[in-house]
Each structure stands twice: as structure tokens, then as C-alpha cells.
């Protein structure tokens, strides 16, 4: 087995037209399997009582565990029998139109590489732990599975309308950084939070960020930051409510937001249904204002 110095040993893997590659599951080293186990055990512990109960139940249903990096084919066979979704290996971020085509056809593109030890706690690119621990469990939920397929189809349309930047904000503040109200209280369903130990605690328990009730148009106006905790989290009442809110012609929403100013990631506006007005202390400390 050749050892790769580079961070992502799949970077130059031969790929199909749809950017999928061979996961070559047998090439993962014992060290890489061990890193998955340590990431999984730590995050699974922190996620207890903080992650959406739906996501935690799905993890068990999909038999995700600290027993080495999952073979995406084996995982996909389980997932496909539940909601028809499969997880397909890619080397990293794929072009938007390729990404949307996969989602529209119930295929979730997951990075095949695992983060290096030096980026154990945080990395910007989606590695296999972010994609499988963070994104895959909810694809076993019928309603969320429908939402993700609809998002893929919406993405293809948004590109044609030149509205991708607005739609990407919907993905960001739900699929990546969304919170949900469950009987036991606020819980996390966003993959970007779920795969990050520190943000899992920050998003639910820190006084700094705003927590605002989901509002599609408001989210499409809200900018976001990609290299730090979020300053605002949006809260849905249920996955049904999320799907319901998005079962509308986005053309109308795009028409409205086009003439409205963007809202900065940390700002609140009068029409917000505020669940928690953030102190923004984390934000202030960071920028020293």
C-alpha cells in the first residue's frame, strides 16, 4: 500500500463523468480506521442529548459505529432499503451542477478521504467523517430524504435562474447548520454542527449566537461565514415543516429577495421570531470590537 504525503490521497484518483471515484475501501490504513473510531466515539458522546433524536436513531439503524471507516457500498445498501438514497464516493467538493444532479437522483456525494491527524478537531473541506456522520443519518428519514431530493432539483433550477447564492444559504442554514425543536428541547440536525464537537456545544448552549425561528425568505437574505462558528442559527419545528416551507415556487421568493438588502450573519431584524437574542460575545471577542 503506497503512503501518500498529501492531505487527500484521493485527489488524483480516476473519476467518472459524475465525479464519483472508487472508494477502494481496502486501501484505508489501520491508522485511518482508528482515526474514524476516535472521531466517532468522541462525537457520538457529545451528540447525546444534543443531536436530533431522529439522527441518533438513524445512526443506529444504519449501524454506523466505531468499527472503522464505513464501506459506502455496504452503507448504501442499508440506506437504499430505507429511503432509496445511496452514498457515492467523491474526492472532494464537486461542481454545483454535478452536486445537484446527484441529490436530485438520491445520491449523496461523500468525500472518501479522512482528515489528517493535524486537523482532527476542525477542517474546512467535507471529509468522510463530516459527510457520513453529519449528513447521512438524516437521509434515512423519509421527510428529510424528500427534502434533500427537492433541494437537488431546486438547485438545478436556481442555477438556471442565476439564484444559486440565495439557495445555497437555505442549504447552509438548514442542512449544514440547522437546529430543530423536539419534545425534549432544541436539538441539532445540521451536519456542519453535528460533525464538530465544539460547535455542537456552542450552537445549543452558548449565549453568543442568535437563535431565530426558520423563515425561508429571511434565510435567503442572510449571509454566512464559512471558517468559524455561525453567529445565527435558524430553528425548524419539524422536518415536515421544513419540507412544507420549501414546497413552493422559489421563483416568487427569489423575486422578492432580489430587491431586499442582505442581512449580516450576526444581525437580527424586527420581524424575526427570536428564540434567543445572542450576546455576540464570541463574535466580539474574535474581531475585538
CB-closest chain residue to ligand HBI: 99
Cα 32 to Cα 212: distance, rounded to the nearest angstrom: 38
* Residue position matching grid coordinates 433524536: 53
- Give the one entry of Fe ion, ligand HBI, none that residue 171 binds, where binding means its C-beta sits below a cut-off of 5 to 8 angstroms depending on kind: ligand HBI
Q: Assess 220 for contact with ligand HBI (CB under 6 A).
A: no
Q: Assess 190 for contact with ligand HBI (CB under 6 A).
A: no
Contacts (CB under 6 A) with ligand HBI, residues 100-119 = 109
Would you say 55 or 167 has its CB closer to ligand HBI? 167
- Give the one entry of ligand HBI, Fe ion, none that residue 93 binds, where binding means its C-beta sits below a cut-off of 5 to 8 angstroms depending on kind: ligand HBI
Would you say 51 or 94 has its CB closer to ligand HBI? 94
Name the DSSP letter for residue 86.
E
Residues 159 and 97 sit within 8 Å (Cβ to Cβ): yes
Cα 65 to Cα 55: distance, rounded to the nearest angstrom: 13
Would you say 148 or 186 has its CB closer to ligand HBI? 148
Q: Assess 171 for contact with ligand HBI (CB under 6 A).
A: yes
**Which 3 state secondary structure label does DSSP give 7?**
coil
**Which 3 state secondary structure label does DSSP give 143?**
helix
Residues 275 and 211 sit within 8 Å (Cβ to Cβ): yes
Q: Please identify which residue in 16, 24, 93, 269 interacts with ligand HBI, judged by CB under 6 A.
A: 93
Q: How would you write 195-224 as a 3-class SS string?
A: CCHHHHHHHHHCCCCEEEECCHHHHHCECC
- Give the one entry of Fe ion, ligand HBI, none that residue 94 binds, where binding means its C-beta sits below a cut-off of 5 to 8 angstroms depending on kind: ligand HBI
Q: Please identify which residue in 21, 39, 56, 94 interacts with ligand HBI, judged by CB under 6 A.
A: 94
Q: Of the ranges 86-94, 137-145, 201-209, 257-265, which one interacts with ligand HBI (CB under 6 A)?
A: 86-94
Q: Assess 126 for contact with ligand HBI (CB under 6 A).
A: yes
Would you say 100 or 229 has its CB closer to ligand HBI? 100
Interstrand relation of 210-213 and 274-276 (parallel, antiparallel or unpaired): antiparallel
**Which 3 state secondary structure label does DSSP give 53?**
helix
Nearest Cα to 68, choosing from 107, 109, 27, 108? 27
- Give the one entry of ligand HBI, Fe ion, none that residue 168 binds, where binding means its C-beta sits below a cut-off of 5 to 8 angstroms depending on kind: ligand HBI
CA angle 192, 226, 105 (to 5 degrees): 55
Binding site for ligand HBI (CB under 6 A): 90, 93-94, 96, 99, 109, 126, 155, 168, 171
Amino acid at each position: 500500500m503506497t503512503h501518500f504525503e498529501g492531505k487527500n490521497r484521493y485527489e488524483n484518483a480516476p473519476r467518472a463523468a459524475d465525479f464519483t471515484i472508487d472508494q477502494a475501501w481496502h486501501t484505508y490504513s489501520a491508522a485511518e480506521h482508528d482515526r474514524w473510531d476516535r472521531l466517532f466515539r468522541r462525537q457520538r458522546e457529545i451528540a447525546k442529548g444534543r443531536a436530533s433524536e431522529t439522527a441518533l436513531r438513524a445512526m443506529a439503524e444504519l449501524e454506523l459505529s466505531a468499527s472503522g471507516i464505513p464501506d459506502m457500498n455496504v452503507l448504501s445498501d442499508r440506506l437504499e432499503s430505507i429511503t432509496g438514497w445511496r452514498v457515492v464516493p467523491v474526492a472532494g467538493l464537486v461542481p454545483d451542477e454535478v452536486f445537484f444532479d446527484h441529490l436530485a437522483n438520491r445520491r449523496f456525494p461523500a468525500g472518501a478521504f479522512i482528515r489528517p491527524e493535524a486537523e482532527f478537531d476542525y477542517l474546512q473541506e467535507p471529509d468522510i467523517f463530516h459527510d457520513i456522520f453529519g449528513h447521512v443519518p438524516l437521509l434515512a428519514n423519509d421527510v428529510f430524504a424528500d427534502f434533500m431530493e427537492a433541494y437537488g432539483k431546486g438547485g438545478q433550477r436556481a442555477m438556471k435562474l442565476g439564484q444559486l447564492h440565495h439557495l445555497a444559504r437555505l442549504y447552509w442554514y438548514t442542512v449544514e447548520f440547522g437546529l430543530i425543536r423536539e419534545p425534549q428541547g432544541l436539538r441539532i440536525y445540521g451536519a456542519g454542527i453535528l460533525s464538530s464537537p465544539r460547535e455542537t456545544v456552542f450552537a445549543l448552549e452558548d449565549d453568543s449566537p442568535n437563535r431565530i425561528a426558520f423563515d425561508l425568505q429571511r434565510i435567503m437574505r442572510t449571509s454566512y461565514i464559512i471558517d468559524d462558528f455561525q453567529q445565527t442559527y435558524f430553528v425548524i419545528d419539524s422536518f415536515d415543516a421544513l419540507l412544507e416551507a420549501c414546497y413552493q415556487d422559489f421563483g416568487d421568493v427569489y423575486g422578492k429577495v432580489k430587491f431586499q438588502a442582505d442581512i449580516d450573519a450576526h444581525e437580527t431584524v424586527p420581524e424575526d421570531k427570536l428564540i434567543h437574542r445572542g450576546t455576540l460575545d464570541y463574535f466580539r471577542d474574535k474581531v475585538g470590537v
